[in-house]
Amino acid sequence: MKRKKGKLFAVIAALVIAAAYYYVTIPAINIHSSGFWGFILMVMILILLIYGTRRIRSVSEIKESRILKIGICAIVLLVIVYIAGSILSSPIINAKKYQKLIEPETGNFTEDIEQISFDQIPLLDKDSAQLLGNRKMGSMVDMVSQFEVSDLYSQINYKGRPVRVTPLVYASPVKWFTNMREGIPAYITIDMATQNTELVKLSEGIRYSESEYFNRYIYRHLRFHYPTYIFDQLSFELDEEGTPYWICPVKKYSIGLFGGQTIGRVVLCNAITGECTDYKVADCPTWVDRVYPADLLVQLYDYHGTLKNGYFNSILGQKGCLKTTDGYNYLAINDDVWVYTGVTSVSGDRSNVGFVLMNQRTKETKYYEIPGAEEYSAMDSAEGQVQNLGYRATFPLLLNISGEPTYFLALKDNAGLVKKYAMVNVQKYQNVAIGDTVSACQKTYLKMITGTSATLADENTKTITGKIERMVQGVIDGNTHFYIVLENQKNLIFDVPITDFLGIIKYHEGDTITIAYNEGDPACTVVSLKGEEGDAQAAVETEETEPTETEAEDDQKK
The tens digit of pLDDT for each residue in 312-366 reads: 999 988 898 999 998 899 988 888 999 999 999 987 667 899 999 999 999 999 9
Determine what percent of the chain is predicted with pLDDT higher than 90: 56
Residues 6+ apart with CB under 8 A from 185: 143, 147, 168, 201, 202, 205, 206
What is the rounded distance in angstroms from the CA atom of residue 432 to the CA atom of residue 444? 9
Helix (H, G, I), strand (E, B) or coil at 111: helix
Lowest mean pLDDT, pick from 33-37, 304-308, 477-481: 477-481
Lowest mean pLDDT, pick from 108-117, 253-262, 397-406, 464-473: 108-117
Helix (H, G, I), strand (E, B) or coil at 509: coil
Question: Amino acid identity of 10?
Answer: A
494-497 and 524-531 as β-strands: parallel, antiparallel, unpaired? Answer: parallel
The per-residue pLDDT for 556 is: 42
123 contacts 195 by C-beta, under 8 angstroms: yes
Phi–psi pair at 346, nearest 5 degrees: -70, -10
Give the closest residue to 168 by CA, choosing from 185, 149, 140, 143: 149
Strand spans (E) along 112-214: 147-149, 154-158, 161-170, 184-191, 197-206
Return the axis-axis angle of helices 2-25 and 34-55, rounded to nearest 10°.
150
Determine what percent of the chain is predicted with pLDDT higher than 70: 89
150 contacts 137 by C-beta, under 8 angstroms: no
pTM equals 0.80
197-206 and 276-280 as β-strands: parallel, antiparallel, unpaired? Answer: unpaired
Beta bridge pairs of residue 91: none
Where does the pLDDT of residue 424 fall: very low under 50, low under 70, confident under 90, or very high at 90 and above? very high
What is the rounded distance in angstroms from the CA atom of residue 27 to the CA atom of residue 23? 9
> What are 490-515's pLDDT values in tens digits?
789 998 888 778 788 888 898 999 88
Phi-psi category of 153—alpha, beta or left, where left has phi over 0 and alpha has psi -120 to 50? left
Alpha carbon distances (Å) from 42 to 18, 36, 78, 82, 227: 8, 10, 11, 14, 19
The per-residue pLDDT for 504 is: 86
Where does the pLDDT of residue 550 fall: very low under 50, low under 70, confident under 90, or very high at 90 and above? very low
Question: Amino acid identity of 530?
Answer: K
Beta bridge pairs of residue 542: none
Return the axis-axis angle of helices 66-88 and 34-55, rounded to nearest 10°.
170
pLDDT greater than 80 at residue 381:
yes
DSSP output for 427-478: S-TT-EEEESSHHHHHHHHHHHHHS--PPPP-TT-EEEEEEEEEEEEEEETT
Q: What is the mean pLDDT of residues 70-99?
A: 94
Cis, bond preceding 104 (omega within 30 deg of 0): no
Q: What is the mean pLDDT of residues 204-213?
A: 95
The per-residue pLDDT for 557 is: 40
Q: What is the mean pLDDT of residues 275-288?
A: 96
Residues 6+ apart with CB under 8 A from 260: 89, 94, 97, 98, 101, 253, 254
Q: What is the mean pLDDT of residues 446-451?
A: 76
Q: Return mean pLDDT, the chain.
A: 86
What is the rounded distance in angstroms from the CA atom of residue 379 to the CA atom of residue 392? 8
